Amino acid sequence: MVRQSVDFQDFVDEVLGKTDIVDLISRYVTLKRVGNRFQALCPLHNDKKTPSFSVSPDKQLFHCFGCGAGGTAIHFIMQKENLDFMEAVKLLAERAGIPIPDYRSSSERAKAAEIHNKKKRMYEMNAEAARFFFANLTSKSGEGALGYLKRRGLSNSTIKSFGLGYAPDSWTALIDFMKTKGYAETELLEAGLAVKRDNDTYFDKFRDRVMFPILDLRGNVIAFGGRIMTDKDNAPKYLNSPETLVFKKKDNLFAMNIAKNSKAGQFLVMEGYMDVISLHQNGFDNAVASLGTAFTPQQAEILKRYADKAVLCYDADEAGQKAADRAGGIMREANIKCRVLTITDGKDPDEYINAKGKEMFELLVDNAESFIEYKIGKIEKQYNLEDTVEKIEFIEQIAKILANIKNDVEREVYIKKTARKTDISPASITAQVENLMRKNQKGEQLKAQRDEKRAFEARTGGRQDLDRMRLYNAEKLMLNLICEPEIFKTVSDKLKPEEFTEGIHRRLAEIIYRTHQNGEKIRPMQIISEFDEADTGTVSEILSDDKNVENKAEAAKMPLKIIKEFYLKQAAMTEQTDAAKLQEIMDKLKKDKKQKGEK
């Protein structure tokens, strides 16, 4: 992060001072105290088994040993919410009730205003396009589209509340209309409403399709989905808007602007727009769908803001089951209690609710299996439990699932269910599960060690020798310990910043020494602000990870010895090299003198 004005830094310091990093991160992941720190599965990457995420309440820093992320509460929010530095500071300031001053330069303000205005115009453009599509639905050209929606069982009020429409079977109908509203073809291209040909002419992206406006949580139209009414060669059933300045597929859910206000306490997650709309029409105002892509961790985070329960209502075909497996796994990682609804007669949710009615679908929802039961049930269909060999194979497969359950009580519940199903003792199944858990843990530890070794090799240009790694770790621990004034006093006369071999270590040492020598208190958050964004993870790891040593004065002796020994060895090698070079020069002079004398 580049240093900014003193006034601005005071504002940042106030924001960090009023933001407890433990409280902040606890909103995203469950933290467990270990010594003087907290640990968790990292909420910033796909951390499934071994906690690699560490939070230091004393220093108000976090660090992940898996993905390398680290820094202050600001850096956490930047990565978790995908914000830039100023956006993250503003978010934390608002949470803390701190007024936000504007420290930006005139050029920065102008650029921000330009982006804001561009987004605003794109929202307005999309809203205008939505009105155009809606108007076309009730025109003569839209009779077929309106008939299609009626045949799908949608009422006029549902069509109106979702703003459904029709894109005419024309190459430029929307473009021509939008031009009358003052929009240029280039703007329509940026908004994903038009497509550019090789000859620099433009045509409508959506043609002869039923249109589904996609709204964000604030009710802005951000994109569209278009569905064909009859199968056509080489035409996809659904055509979705491309990503734009205001639309990111992974960060939005269809109908979430409505479902977020539901009192149901859980969400019904569908595959298609029509499924969602049919459910809403039948009173299920908690139905949502992903947007033409597989369910994402970002979408799980959106759901988690409003409820921690969800029911997956995907199609029963193979593709639907694969999608359910993936979505359920993501939801469990986000600590959403997930269940899976299965429609056995091959219908999708839209077809089922229209054929059987609201009450029958509600019964399906109430009887939906937990995600783990769903996975076990899928495996059970593959085995004959009356056959001894197949029963053993079945238990082996189930044990793999149960070994990944973190909650002890939940794991025991499923062990007992499996025991009753197979007539095998819970103790035997538990032993097999625990054996797998130990292997998984060992595997994760080995992976972490390999990752650390690879990271070390990358930092040291491929050097793999243990002495170098030992020195690297010694420097990290020493830098952490000399943040303590008493340790610094005993070490500073024996060790100088220039004796640290790693570039970032040397620079950090210089800052720590300078701070102590100026009589100032070491403030980790202030130190991190002196480094570029790319280095914050490394610096935060060093400043926050004291290896839980209790006697810091005693602990400082070993890294000091390692660093001094290496430095003295390097100095001796340099002296030997210099002496060898001097001897080489002397020998050359003698040789030259001798040759001249012979001539």
For position 92, which CATH number holds?
A: 3.90.580.10
Residue 579 resides in a domain? no
Torsion angle in degrees (nearest 10) through CA of 358, 363, 367, 370: 10
- State the Cα–Cα distance between residues 287 and 256, nearest whole angstrom: 8
Same domain, 304 and 357: yes
pLDDT recorded at residue 592: 62
Q: What pLDDT, on a 0 to 100 scale, did the predictor assign at position 590?
A: 65
pLDDT by residue for the chain (599 residues), tens only, comes to 444 444 677 888 889 989 999 999 998 888 999 888 899 888 887 666 678 889 989 889 998 887 888 889 999 998 888 787 888 888 999 999 998 887 667 887 888 888 889 999 999 999 999 999 999 999 999 999 999 999 999 999 999 999 999 999 999 999 999 999 999 999 999 999 999 999 999 999 999 999 999 999 989 999 999 999 887 767 788 899 999 999 999 999 999 999 999 999 999 999 889 999 999 999 999 999 988 678 999 999 899 989 999 999 988 788 888 899 999 999 998 889 999 998 877 678 888 998 899 999 999 999 999 999 999 999 999 999 999 999 999 999 999 999 989 889 999 999 999 999 999 999 999 999 999 988 888 877 777 667 666 666 665 555 556 677 788 889 999 999 999 999 999 999 899 898 888 888 999 999 999 999 999 888 887 888 888 877 888 888 888 877 777 788 888 899 899 888 887 777 666 656 655 566 665 666 666 656 656 54
Tell how strand 165-167 and strand 70-71 pair up: unpaired
User: Which domain, by its residues, includes 238?
Assistant: 111-247
Q: Are residues 158 and 232 both part of a single domain? A: yes
Q: Check whether residue 118 and residue 237 sit in a common domain.
A: yes
Nearest-angstrom CA–CA distance, 536 and 79: 12
Indicate if 137 and 241 belong to the same structural domain. Answer: yes
Q: What is the residue-wise DSSP string for 202-269?
A: EEES--SEEEEEEE-TTS-EEEEEEE-SS--TT--SEEEPPP-SS--GGG--BTHHHHTT-SSSSEEE
* 363 plus 262 within the same structural domain: yes
CB atoms within 10 A of CB 317: 11
Spatial CA neighbour of 11 closest among 92, 129, 83: 92
255, 247, 206, 198: which is closest to 227 by C-alpha?
206
**Residue 374 forms part of a structural domain:** no
Residues 536, 442: one domain?
no
Q: Say if residue 404 is in the same domain as residue 346.
A: no
CATH of residue 154: 3.90.980.10
Q: Which tokens go with 111?
A: 């650029």
- The verdict on residue 373 lying in a domain is no
What single DSSP character describes residue 312? E
DSSP letters spanning 336-383: -EEEE---TTS--HHHHHHHH-HHHHHHHHHTPEEHHHHHHHHHHTT-
pLDDT for the residue numbered 599: 46
Per this entry, what is the length of the chain? 599
Is 239 in the same domain as 302?
A: no
Of 337, 368, 399, the position where a domain reaches its end is 368
Identify whether residues 410 and 488 lie together within a single domain: no
242 and 260, same structural domain? no
In a domain, 557, yes or no: yes
CA distances from 128 to 134, 175, 242, 307, 592 (A): 10, 12, 18, 33, 90
| Beta-carbon-side half-sphere exposure of residue 280 (alpha carbons within 13 Å) | 30
Domain boundary among 368, 397, 427: 368
Q: Flag whether 595 is in a domain.
A: no
Same domain, 356 and 412: no
- Identity at 319, one-letter amino acid code: A
Helix orientation angle between 106-137 and 143-151, rounded to the nearest 10 degrees:
80
151/53 same-domain check: no
Q: Is 312 part of a structural domain of the chain?
A: yes
Element (H, E) at 436: helix 426-459
- Is residue 56 within 8 A of residue 525, CB to CB? The reply is no
Q: Is 356 within a domain? A: yes
Cα distance between residue 250 and residue 295, in whole Å: 8
**Please, are residues 512 and 523 in contact by the beta-carbon 8 Å criterion?**
no
* Integer Cα distance of 254 and 270 in angstroms: 9
Q: Domain tally for the chain?
A: 5
CATH number, domain at 364?
3.40.1360.10
The per-residue pLDDT for 4 is 46
Q: What are phi and psi of 130, to 5 degrees?
A: -60, -40
d(CA 76, CA 13) in angstroms, rounded, equals: 16
Residue 48 confidence (pLDDT): 63
Among residues 426, 452, 478, which one ends one of the domains?
452
Q: What is the CATH number of the domain that holds 553?
A: 1.10.860
Quick check: is 459 in a domain? no
Question: Which pLDDT does position 13 carry in this prediction?
Answer: 85
